[in-house]
Amino acid sequence: MNLGRSSRMRAWALLGIALLPSLVACGRRKPTEVNDITPSFAVNRERAPLGSAVEVTYTWTVGSAATKPAQDYRALVHFLDRDRTLLFTDDHALNPPATSWEPGKTYSYTRTVFIPFYRYAGEVQVVMGLYPVAGKGERMGLKGEDTGLREYKVGKMELLPQTENIFLVYKDGWHSPESSAQNPSLERTWTKKDALVAFKNPKKDILVYLEADTNAKAFEAPPVLTLAVGGKTGVVVPIADSEVFMKKVRVKAADLGTEEWVDLRLSMSQSFVPKAKVAGSTDDRELGLMVYHLFVGDAEALGKVEGVVDAGPVTLVGAEAAAAAPAAKTPAKPASPAAKTK
């Protein structure tokens, strides 16, 4: 059959209309199955300097129509800059596990997050989600504003320049920072038996954050850490195992003294040399404590912080006591950013 030009155009148009529903169906994305679970985020201070600590409360509101998860999930927490570029994360195990969540209940917990050092200051967007622990399967669809890939917008905060912090000067007793084999972006620093840091006296109450661990099996007896501020005030921390621990210590302004600079000393009851303890090791350094984060902040500016203990009288012995006796009036040259414990 010979169709004219206009007839052929009408035929193609009719065919296109007939095929349109099929084409739309093929191009349509599969709808996300949304579980009745809403993530939310709260922080003890919405403006925080780079390198500082913040207390983050995560909440998972499980609605009455929620389907109980059949497998365990991890929390996805991403902190993004203005261009939605990932700055840092706080992915973590849920507490309690998602498999124990019940419809109609709310689950909240607080974690300490240390903000890394970046060449960025400004607004940060926070997104949350859930992904399978085993790494198999998709992220769970949740209630909320999906920013893409099942990451849900939960809040924002502002990063301030590092200069807003109480600056630490790392003095004696510190080895060079090293990266974790499991996470190359994570730096940690070994101390010797005794390590010293100094900071300018803010003449205000302060909070000292210390996150650390050690190789407990390398010591002849369970080691004991003494964290002392000004050589007389602090806490004593028995170390029972090799797990990471965190201490948050409040020191009153009166205990900082009147000098311009204040010493903060980390003294271990013992030290060890890996070469003498580990077969095949060639590491002949004197090691005491592995420090992941050490932060000193204005207690009032830090706001509400859970798990804080008040500093009390402590006694340094031997060489540590002799070294702590002089006031720290003239600090050493400040460490470079790469040499800071983070």
**Residue environment code for 297-321, b if the CB has 16+ CB neighbours within 10 A, otherwise e:** bebebbeebeeeeebeebebeeebe
At residue 67, the pLDDT reads 94
Architecture per CATH, 166-339: Sandwich (2.60)
Where in the chain are the domains?
Answer: 37-162, 166-339
User: How far apart are alpha carbons 147 and 151 in whole angstroms?
Assistant: 6
* CA 340 – CA 25 distance, rounded (Å): 56
- Please name every residue paired with 109 in a beta bridge, in sequence order, or none if there are none: 58
> What average pLDDT does range 51-64 have in this prediction?
96
Cis upstream peptide for 96 (omega within 30°): yes
Burial (CB count <10 Å: 0-12, 13-18, 19+), residue 70:
exposed
Write down the pTM of the prediction: 0.82
Looking at the chain, the whole-number percentage of residues with pLDDT higher than 70 is 82
Tell me how far apart the alpha carbons of residues 340 and 51 are, in angstroms, rounded to a whole number.
10
Nearest-angstrom CA–CA distance, 102 and 91: 22
Radius of gyration of the chain (CA): 27
Give the pLDDT score at 181: 73
pLDDT tens, position by position, 163-203: 889 999 999 999 999 987 777 777 899 999 999 999 999 99
Phi, psi of 5 (to 5 degrees): -60, -45
Q: Which residue has the higher pLDDT, 334 or 301?
A: 301
CATH topology match: 37-162 vs 166-339: no
Q: Are 37 and 150 in contact (CB under 8 A)?
A: no
187-190: strand order across its sheet? 178-179, 187-190, 290-298, 206-213, 245-251, 308-310
Is residue 331's pLDDT more than 90?
no
pLDDT tens for each residue of 7-49? 444 544 444 444 444 444 444 445 668 999 999 999 999 999 9
For strands 92-93 and 73-80, give the pairing.
antiparallel
b or e along 207-217 (b: 16 or more beta carbons within 10 Å of the residue's beta carbon)? bbbbbbbbeee
**Does 37-162 carry CATH code 3.20.20.70?**
no
CA separation for the pair 65, 68 (Å, rounded): 9
